[in-house]
Amino acid sequence: MPLAEHLHQRGLRELGQCQDAGQVITLIGPDQPRFWSHFTASPEYVDGLPNPLDRWSVRVITPIAAAMDGEAIFPSDGPPYAPFYSWALATGRCWTSPVGFLVHDDAGLFVSFRAAIRHPGRGDAARSPSPCDICVTQPCQTACPVDALVDEYDVAVCKTYLRGAKGTGCMTHGCAARRACPVGQGRRKPQQAAFHMEAFL
C-alpha cells in the first residue's frame, strides 16, 4: 500500500520530504479537518493517561514506518531531540514566518508534525514559493492581543494572557496569530485547537 494511502486511512498526510544522511525524511502531520475525528475515536483519547496524542502517534505511525522498511521518529523522542525544524525548512515547503513560527505552503501557521519517517530512497523535495512573500498585509504580525511575538516569542507573556479571563478566545479557538494566516485558514476544528492550547499551558 502506498504511504499516502496508509496515512489517509488514519487522518494523516505527508507534509514534505528532505534528504538526511543518504536517506529520505518524510514529515507526517494531521490531515485537517479529518484528523480530529480519527484521534478522538482512539483509546488514547479517552483513557485518561498522560500525553494521549503522542501515544496515539507512536501506535499508529510506527507500523506505517515499518511497512516502508523505515524508522519512525517522533518530536517527543529525546533528549537529544530530532531536528524537525531544520528538516521542515529543508523540504522546501516550510519557511520561517514573520512571527518566527514555521509556515507551510498548505497548512499555514497551523503546521504541526506528528512524526518523521526515515526510509530508503531519494525523496522528493518540492520547492514552493513562501506564502509570506505574496501576503501583502501579513496579519499574523498584528493579530496577537498582547504583542507576544514582537522580536522574539515571549512565552511567559503569552501564557499569562492565556490564563486570564481575556485569553478565552485563544484558548478555545487557537492562537490568534496562527488563525490570522490566510493559508489553511479554518481547517483546524475548535475542539482540536482547545486541546492543543490546554496542553501548551
Predicted pLDDT of residue 89: 96
User: Tell me: the pLDDT tens digits for 143-173?
Assistant: 999 999 988 899 999 999 999 999 999 999 9
Question: What is the H or E stretch that residue 72 is in?
Answer: strand 71-73
- Percent of the chain past pLDDT 70, that is, above it, reads 98
Q: In Å, what is the CA distance from 25 to each residue of 15, 83, 92, 118?
A: 11, 11, 13, 5
Whether 127 shows a pLDDT value over 80: the answer reads no
Rounded distance between C-alpha atoms, residue 177 and residue 172, angstroms: 14
User: Tell me: the pLDDT tens digits for 70-95?
Assistant: 999 999 999 999 999 999 999 999 99
Q: Return the domain boundaries, the chain.
A: 3-200
Predicted pLDDT of residue 184: 87
User: Tell me: the pLDDT tens digits for 49-64?
Assistant: 999 999 999 999 999 9
Whether 139 shows a pLDDT value over 90: the answer reads yes
Give pTM, 2 decimals: 0.94
Rounded distance between C-alpha atoms, residue 162 and residue 164, angstroms: 5
Predicted pLDDT of residue 122: 72
